[in-house]
Amino acid sequence: MRRLLPYVFLGLVLVSLDTPAFAYLDGATGSMMVQAIIGSVAAAGVFGRHALAKTKAALVRIFRSPTSGDR
């Protein structure tokens, strides 16, 4: 389910987007819009990886035997 979250997020954003109409279109409009979505997911991924790494480090500290570090 966790792997599906980015796709669900992307779907919700795609159906909710609307911006004012202009006569002329910049060629990178799709890129600029999609960066907001991809960036959010990427940032969440970075945050998640950091959180996971911190959690792992904390667990290692908790469960490591007090004597193991002295050997």
Name the residues that contact other proteins, by CB under 8 A: 6-7, 10, 14, 17-43, 45-47
Q: Give Cα separations from 30 to 13, 37, 44, 57, 66 (angstroms).
A: 13, 11, 21, 40, 55
31 vs 55 by CB, closer to other proteins = 31
3 vs 61 by CB, closer to other proteins = 3
CA 60 to the chain's CA centroid? 25
Given a contact cutoff of 8 angstroms between Cβ atoms, the answer to whether 13 and 37 are in contact is yes
17 vs 53 by CB, closer to other proteins = 17
- Least Å distance between CB 71 and other proteins? 37
